Amino acid sequence: MPTSTQLSLHVAENPETLARLAAKLVIERCQKAIAERGTFTIALSGGKTPTLLFQLLATPEFQKSLPWEKVLFYWVDERCVDPDHSDSNYRVARDELLQKVEATKFYRMRGELDPEEAAQAYERLLRQHFELGAGELPRFDCILLGMGADGHVASLFPEEEGINIKDRLVIDQRISKLKSDRLTLTLPVLNNARCCIFMVQGKEKHEVLAKALNILGSPDLPAQKVKPVNGELIWVVDEDARQG
């Protein structure tokens, strides 16, 4: 069966406009998923960039656009910390979005557990929720992604083994340069999504963004390896990231 990735690039004037554009893209895919399958599965990333999106979705203007009871929230990656810790990806989404809307279905990675145990537990959860058989992958409706200045995506970093792991859905990793433990979805899971949306902002991302968007270049960066199979790959960037 032939495979293809539908690629699109959107440039926003500033971070606020970027968040508004990303919100529109998420809502469109949510409405389509619910019309076709009855629910919308989305995996959230951490970092600074999605915070404005979370805040926007929590406003009265956008709250009414989503049937929150039919949205299932998962996480792309997590720091191995307590859920109330300032570094917790879950905490940011909870404080800025989930506790402000009528969302009831959210499934966090348990960063407070032993990393290996937490990764295995989340993999079991995905297998159960998506009713997966041996060798099958979950197909998220939408995965929100950011990109680090080093080209990492999720918690899949350059020069770390995690980007090459193909036989797991979720792994734990010790990120050497950060001296921290992370939990993350693996690349095959990202590439099985119906839609991956990259949100990238800031002048410091210009150089790596130019490399990531060079489709003829060697795919050395983890972010370049994200190519959803028969899905959409959407880049939403601001002018600072585009122009440098």
With respect to residue 4, please indicate whether it lies within any of the assigned structural domains: no
With respect to residue 5, please indicate whether it lies within any of the assigned structural domains: no
Distance of CA 35 to the CA centre of its chain: 22
The C-alpha atoms of residue 189 and residue 179 are separated, in whole angstroms, by 25
Q: In CATH, what number is assigned to the domain containing residue 157?
A: 3.40.50.1360
Does 244 have pLDDT greater than 90?
A: no
With respect to residue 96, please indicate whether it lies within any of the assigned structural domains: yes
Q: What is the pLDDT of residues 9-51, one digit of tens each?
A: 999 999 999 999 999 999 999 999 999 999 999 999 988 889 9
What sign does the dihedral 234-131-185-98 (CA atoms) show?
Answer: positive
When pLDDT is averaged across residues 121-143 and rounded to a whole number, the result is 97
Does 3 have pLDDT greater than 80?
A: no
The C-alpha atoms of residue 114 and residue 118 are separated, in whole angstroms, by 6
Contacts of 162 (CB under 8 A, 6+ apart): 155, 156, 171, 173, 184, 186
Read off the tokens for 43: 């995996």
- Say what the pLDDT of residue 48 is: 83
Phi, psi of 73 (to 5 degrees): -100, 130
Treating both helix axes as pointing N-terminal to C-terminal, what angle do 89-96 and 49-57 enclose, rounded to 10 degrees? 30
With respect to residue 8, please indicate whether it lies within any of the assigned structural domains: no
- Say what the pLDDT of residue 5 is: 81
Which residue's structure tokens are 């370049």?
224
Does 219 have pLDDT greater than 90?
A: no
Give the pLDDT band of residue 2 (cuts 50, 70, 90).
low
With residue 173 as reference, give the H or E element that holds it: strand 170-175
With respect to residue 154, please indicate whether it lies within any of the assigned structural domains: yes
Q: What is the pLDDT of residues 135-147, one digit of tens each?
A: 999 999 999 999 9
Percentage of residues of the chain with pLDDT beyond 90: 89
Does 1 have pLDDT greater than 70?
A: no
Q: What is the pLDDT of residues 174-205, one digit of tens each?
A: 998 888 999 999 999 999 999 999 999 999 99
How many domains does the chain divide into? 1
Q: What is the pLDDT of residues 60-87, one digit of tens each?
A: 999 998 999 999 999 999 999 999 999 9
- Say what the pLDDT of residue 33 is: 98
With respect to residue 16, please indicate whether it lies within any of the assigned structural domains: no
- Say what the pLDDT of residue 102 is: 94
With respect to residue 11, please indicate whether it lies within any of the assigned structural domains: no
With respect to residue 48, please indicate whether it lies within any of the assigned structural domains: yes
- Say what the pLDDT of residue 16 is: 95
The mean of the pLDDT values for the chain is 95
**Dihedral through CA 76, CA 77, CA 82, CA 83, nearest 10?**
-20
The C-alpha atoms of residue 30 and residue 35 are separated, in whole angstroms, by 9
Read off the tokens for 55: 């805040």
- Say what the pLDDT of residue 214 is: 86
Treating both helix axes as pointing N-terminal to C-terminal, what angle do 15-37 and 49-57 enclose, rounded to 10 degrees? 60
Model pTM score? 0.96
In which domain, by residue range, is 115 found? 26-179+192-223+237-243
Which residue's structure tokens are 């959407």?
234
Do residues 89 and 44 make contact, with C-beta atoms less than 8 angstroms apart?
yes
- Say what the pLDDT of residue 104 is: 93
